[in-house]
Chains A and B, each alone.
Chain A
Amino acid sequence: MTPIILLSLVLMSLALCLAFVRLFRGPSLPDRVVALELFSSILVGMIGVVAIATDVASLLDVAIVMALMAFMTSIGFARFLERGGRRDE
């Protein structure tokens, strides 16, 4: 089981790096918000894999909170954009 978990963690870390590239380069703020949302999805997956690897079931609560925070963050950013934030950043 361990090599598979290691491999999937490596894949997800690579995905985090790619999402960070978009977060850094993204031409507009909505692009960055999309990258942040992808970040949180990948983190939920990572927490799930770590919960399997360490046999700690209560890590799932952390995943639930992570998903909730991501949803609220994206809603908040969207409200901010529609109310007229900075257009080009």
Chain B
Amino acid sequence: MNEIVKEGLILVGALFMLLAALGVVRLPDLLTRMHATTKAATFGVTLIMLAVALHFAQVAVVARAFGVILFIMMTAPVAAHVIGRAGYFVGTRLWERTLKDELRPHYDPLTHELKSGRECERNARYGAEEDAER
């Protein structure tokens, strides 16, 4: 029983990692690629670390395995947020079929300034018209 659960965890974890890599290659855009890697790879590492905890079944090893899981679950969103933010600031192109970019009417990439919604109502209206045309 233990063996079967362990084997299943390892296999499913490896499959999720393959899925994440496939997403990184196939998806069209920085943000969609990040969406593939962060979640699927984190889940794969979590499953494999659970298998490690099951295999050794000692207190020290289980604590370390859960430490790895906790660390990755806490740092992966932070790293993804920081990279996505930097990518947007640098001016990475979005996919050409992106439907909505809500930050664009509010943010000026040259002055690096973020306006509130009221300040750029004209821009927002312009964006809404553009959406309506579609």
Which A positions have Cβ atoms within 8 angstroms of B?
1, 4-5, 7-9, 11-12, 14-19, 21-22, 28-31, 33-35, 37-38, 41-42, 44-45, 48-49, 51-52, 57, 60-61, 63-64, 67-68, 70-71, 74-75, 77-79, 81-82, 87
**Would you call A41 and B41 a contact (CB within 8 A)?**
yes
Contact A67-B75, Cβ < 8 Å, known A8-B10, A52-B55: yes
Contact A52-B20, Cβ < 8 Å, known A30-B92, A78-B86: no
Contact A28-B45, Cβ < 8 Å, known A14-B21, A37-B79: no
**Would you call A31 and B71 a contact (CB within 8 A)?**
no
**Would you call A41 and B89 a contact (CB within 8 A)?**
no
Cβ of B124 < 8 Å from any Cβ of A?
A: no
A-B Cβ contacts below 8 A, count: 164
**Would you call A75 and B21 a contact (CB within 8 A)?**
no
Main secondary structure of the interface of A (DSSP, over half): helix
Contact A35-B86, Cβ < 8 Å, known A41-B72, A87-B91: no
Q: How large is the interface on B (under 10, 10 to 19, 20 to 34, 35 or more residues)?
A: 35 or more
**Would you call B58 and A57 a contact (CB within 8 A)?**
yes
Provide the bound-state CA to CA distance between A8 and B52, in Å: 14
Q: What are the 5 A-B residue pairs with the smallest beta carbon separation, nearest first?
A: A8-B14, A15-B21, A30-B87, A18-B21, A41-B41
**Would you call B72 and A81 a contact (CB within 8 A)?**
no
Stretch from B59-67, B97-105, B114-122 contacting the other chain: B59-67
**Which residues on the A side are within 8 Å of B64 (C-beta)?**
57, 60-61, 64
Provide the bound-state CA to CA distance between A11 and B11, in Å: 9
Which B positions have Cβ atoms within 8 angstroms of A?
3, 6-7, 10-11, 13-15, 17-18, 20-22, 24-25, 30, 33-34, 37, 41-42, 44-45, 48-49, 51-52, 55-56, 58, 60-61, 64-65, 67-68, 71-72, 75-76, 78-79, 82-87, 89-92
Report the nearest A residue to B50, measured CB to CB.
Answer: A48
Q: How far is the CB of B84 from chain A (nearest CB, A)?
A: 8
Contact A31-B67, Cβ < 8 Å, known A11-B15, A18-B21, A41-B72: no
**Would you call A48 and B51 a contact (CB within 8 A)?**
yes
